[in-house]
Amino acid sequence: GAVVSQHPSWVICKSGTSVKIECRSLDFQATTMFWYRQFPKQSLMLMATSNEGSKATYEQGVEKDKFLINHASLTLSTLTVTSAHPEDSSFYICSARDDLRKNTGELFFGEGSRLTVL
Amino acid sequence: KQEVTQIPAALSVPEGENLVLNCSFTDSAIYNLQWFRQDPGKGLTSLLLIQSSQREQTSGRLNASLDKSSGRSTLYIAASQPGDSATYLCRVYGQNFVFGPGTRLSVLP
């Protein structure tokens, strides 16, 4: 149980285009999901907290208009990198918290999505 | 502001050794601590979750301890195997979720 699926696992796009990454909780409901960015050999950097039915909460320094987050249902959050540039190339990972086990504070992670912007 | 550090940053050991990975945090007001492993280019796999009221958790060859008052957690790996090679991350949950930088482990056959 507690599987989080991310899609696509890797994507290559041209500079100036937009890319959408999906994060799905497959066997549980998640009102809250988190989006992270990870640079090579570094730890995860929290970008934003995605809340179902309301606006995402962005961390300081993260551009809201660049990284659009939509949490349309209790099992799906999407991250759209708009007008992508080479510096947006990175590994993006999502995590989710099981609503029924929210008090445990346990996080479940997707497999990550590697974005390369040419 | 919570800060999480992990020592060592990298570790290389021969197969079969028992080893200890360390995680330290500055604010002891936490709800729990979670250990993950991350394989190259992959997401995070949860290993152990320790609630603040617990002292340790065990799963197979893994044992994690938590000393909240001193701001430390250790992950003990018994009889290490090449398949244990990965980056190990600890994550504390207090005001928010904060990750350590990780320890890159290589177990040599």
The answer, yes or no, to whether residue A103 has pLDDT greater than 90, is: no
Q: Which of B32, B36, B101 sits opposite A105 (nearest CB)?
A: B32
Q: Considering chain B, what percentage of its residues have pLDDT values greater than 90?
A: 85
What does the pLDDT read at residue A1?
63
Amino acid code (one letter) for B84: D
Q: Which of B41, B42, B49 sits opposite A104 (nearest CB)?
A: B49
What does the pLDDT read at residue A43?
83
Q: Chain B: nearest CA to A110, how far in angstroms?
A: 6
What does the pLDDT read at residue B83?
96
What does the pLDDT read at residue B97?
86
What does the pLDDT read at residue B6?
96
Mapping DSSP onto H, E and C, the string for chain B reads CCCEEEECCEEEEECCCCEEEEEEECCCCCCEEEEEEECCCCCEEEEEEEECCCCEEEECCEEEEEECCCCEEEEEECCCCHHHCEEEEEEEECCCEEECCCEEEEEEC
CB atoms within 10 A of CB A101: 12
The chain-wide mean pLDDT, for chain B, equals 94
Q: Chain A: nearest CA to B59, how far in angstroms?
A: 16
Q: Find, among A98, A51, A47, A46, the residue nearest to A72 by Cα.
A: A51
What does the pLDDT read at residue A72?
86
Partner-chain contact B100 A114, CB within 8 Å: no
Q: Chain A: nearest CA to B95, how far in angstroms?
A: 11
The answer, yes or no, to whether residue B64 has pLDDT greater than 90, is: yes
Tens of pLDDT along A17-72? Answer: 999 999 999 999 999 999 999 988 788 899 999 999 889 999 999 999 999 999 98
DSSP state of A59: P
Residue whose entry in the numeric block shows the structure tokens 């970008």: A47
Kindly list the residues from chain A whose CB atom is less than 8 angstroms away from the CB atom of residue B93. Answer: 105
Nearest CA in chain A to B44: A109
Pairing status of strand A44-51 against strand A32-38: antiparallel
What does the pLDDT read at residue A101?
83
Kindly list the residues from chain B whose CB atom is less than 8 angstroms away from the CB atom of residue A6. Answer: 43
What does the pLDDT read at residue B38?
93
Q: Which of B34, B43, B46 sits opposite A93 (nearest CB)?
A: B43
Band of residue B43 on the pLDDT scale cut at 50, 70, 90: confident
Nearest CA in chain B to A45: B99
Q: Which residue has the higher pLDDT, B24 or B41?
A: B24
Beta carbons of B90 and B6 less than 8 angstroms apart: yes
